[in-house]
Structure 1
Amino acid sequence: MKIYGYCRISTREQSIERQQRNIKALYPTAIIVNEVYTGTKVEGRKEWNKLLKAVQSGDTIVFDSVSRMSRNAIEGFELYKDLYEKGVELVFIKEQHISTSTYKRALNNNIQLTGTAVDSILKGVNDYLLALAEQQIKIAFEQSEKEVKDLQQRTREGIETARLNGKQIGQIKGAKLITKKSIEAKAQIQKYSKDFNGTLKDIEVIKLIGISRNSYYKYKKELTQELGVTNE
């Protein structure tokens, strides 16, 4: 039986290390699975899909919070039930009340029927307890989804306020965006690339400085223009 820790961030501004620390603090042997720069839905999450194929009955998946599993209420609840039915334990550090161990207790702690007329009442109580447990799970995913919608709404309102105040929204067409990352990347490209001051090929520089191919060639083109370098 294996324990997996699933960590996910949606933007470069977020830190995945906090999630890793929280999981490792409670489950030191957890196999950490990192997913970076994803949307709110499960679709398109390559590492998550790999994990779903690898996980087996008796295994455990640990999340820092329910939002790391899904920020879509319907999708999240269905995924929760599918994994539960496969025998996979789900642990949510910040929402322990919806971990599968709690759900399992709601299923197993049914009041025993007596074989008398009272059973109709007892069955109603059991059904109510199960529905209550499922409702708690749904509420957790719904809250996670609401947080995304609220953030999107605040962003839209902030952009509209800035626009009404005459501020430039977004990058001016044709303008080159200069960031700390681009400055550092260009300095490394100039240092290591054989087309500038170095001896390495493009693919070697990409691996060395750890950026994507698209970013590398974008920065290299800009650098060539800035330095007036011509590649014969």
Structure 2
Amino acid sequence: MIYGYIRVSTDKQTIENQRFEIENYCKERNLLVASWIEETISGTKKVDERKLGKLLGKVKKGDIIICAELSRLGRNMFMIMSILNYCMENEIKVWTIKDGYKLGEDLTSKVLAFAFGLSAEIERNLISQRTKEALARKKAEGVQLGRPKGKKSTHYKLTGKEKTIIELHEKGLSKSKIAKILDVHRNTLNVYIKQNGINLS
């Protein structure tokens, strides 16, 4: 099955040029596009947020995706290589008109698939390395990293409330009601009572 994929970034652009190119390309080769996928969305959006993601989810081995050029698949090389690597691994053919690529099941395609996968892995490693270096630099500059202390736990809400807890308990309120009044979970209240030796007997 042959799919024609068209993407434009803004409403001001037109899909007609890309469709015309794909139709002419197929006409010259006696090919018939069985389904068209058209979308107006930025190529920087994640694949699964685009119609392209749905297309990749339903294409099968031997199917062909034809687009005007590789840049229609994504805005950066990492994204494009990830998409092409997925297609090569699943034996889905990707043909681009302007670039002249016909990625399929031949040896050249398999070599390219390896190159795409390797390049994507290198890019991921570079991103990871750059992130680690940036964090190390911030740490060296004295910037506090991660969640501010005390924000991860709600125990800080109970600090200094020992007397209030005892008074509410003496009024006959259950721990669940006390926790609700103090805006904490009952388990948090129980742990706080135990850790601070609060006598509710």
TM-score if structure 1 supplies the norm length? Answer: 0.43
Which structure would you say has the larger Rg? 2
Name the one with the larger helix percent: 1
TM-score if structure 2 supplies the norm length? Answer: 0.49
